[in-house]
Structure 1
Amino acid sequence: MLDDLDRRILRLWQTEPEMTPADLAAALDLPAARVARRIERLRETGVLRSVSTVIDWAALGYGVEVSLRIQLDKTAPGAFEAFMAAARKVPEVTQMQTFLGRVDLRLTVIARDMTHWQGIYRDRILVLPHIAEIEALMHVATVKTDQTLPI
């Protein structure tokens, strides 16, 4: 699926994501049009899904991050769909993941401080439909966020 040039482009872009396609071409000593065509092919095949900006929520005043492990009442028809639709409407939910096993979903929620968190939890989270059990894990430190892979 990937050839050596694709791997070189991806390795370089993982380590320096701010590079433009022209910067990549210069660093790889290749014509810009060739690199642009490769990037387009990587997008078309789904290898590159998007180029994104990572926001440091703490720098914007959101100093509290909580991971919620949620079990749903799966006896209710449409419980997953109803829960996920409602949870998507909570602006402080930054991530939602589904799982197989004891935990059905995990939400990442951000808040400015503990008072703000308590309001979000009481007024927006606990009212979400079909929750059977919920466990809140307060984020203490990020140990690793590197999403680069050896290509």
Structure 2
Amino acid sequence: MTPIDETDRRILRLLQANARITNAELAERVALSPSPCWRRVRRLEASGLIRAYVTLLDPHALGLDVSVFVRVRIESHREEVVQAFEAAVQARPEIVECYRMTGGTDYLLRVVTSDIAAYDRFLGEVLMHLPGVASMDSGFALRQVKYTTAMPL
């Protein structure tokens, strides 16, 4: 783990809130001159603390109004089964999140689609045919109460 100080934390908080902030504005807001601020950001990037800069899209504005959480059990935990399942999941843009779990569920997926009929098609045409799937259970999100990509610093 890369050690970070309070100035690094302030930089990271500001970048999480607005990755398009200019270096000059960032430097001013963390009370540094631009060059040392730029060097700190580059160090945070090189260390892997900053993985990427992204644009977050509004799923509803794109017509992706249904979010489904799918609990998946796989038939075997052999390496080739796990690798095939995870590779298939990586290839599907409708699956926006995937977590390997402990307990009775092997994986938790979050799938986004335009409507329930689109999810039903995706379930029948894709999910049920993912390599190694033994069983699955879907739960529909009724309302998003909290969503953030910001890590607590």
TM over 0.5: yes
Distance, in Å, in 1 between the alignment partners of 2:115 and 2:13 is 38
Structure 1 residues 45-73: Cα deviation after superposition (integer angstroms, max 9, x where no partner): 12111121111111101111111010101
User: Following the alignment from structure 1 to structure 2, what is the Cα–Cα distance between the partners of residues 18 and 143?
Assistant: 26
- Structure 2 unaligned segments of length 5 or more: list them: none
Q: What is the RMSD of the two structures over their aligned residues, measured on CA atoms?
A: 1.9
Identify the match of residue 145 of structure 1 among 140, 144, 147: 147
Q: For structure 1, which segment, 37-46 or 77-86, has the greater mean C-alpha deviation from structure 2 after superposition? A: 77-86
Instruction: Report the TM-score when normalising by structure 2.
Output: 0.88
Deviation at 1:106, TM superposition (A): 1.2
Q: Equivalent residue for 2:106?
A: 104
Asked if the contact 2:69/2:110 (under 8 Å) is kept, the reply is yes
Counterpart mapping for 1:6-17 below 5 A: 6-17=8-19
Q: Once structures 1 and 2 are overlaid, which stretch shifts more, 21-30 or 94-103?
A: 21-30
Shift of 1:85: 1.4
Aligned residue pair count: 151
Task: Note the residue ranges of structure 1 that are not aligned, 5 or more in a row.
Answer: none
AA of the residue aligned to 2:41? I
CA change 1:47–1:143 in 2 (3 A) is same
Are the equivalent residues in 2 in contact too, given 1:76–1:130 (CA < 8 A)? Answer: no
- Quote the Cα distance in structure 2 between the aligned partners of 1:149 and 1:139: 23
Match of 1:71 in 2: 73
Q: Which moved more, 1:51-60 or 1:140-149?
A: 140-149
1:113 aligns with 2:115: yes
Structure 1 length normalisation: TM-score?
0.89
Preserved contact between residue 7 and residue 30 of structure 2 (Cα < 8 Å): no
Task: Supply the distance in 1 between the matched residues of 2:117 and 2:20 (Cα, whole angstroms).
Answer: 36
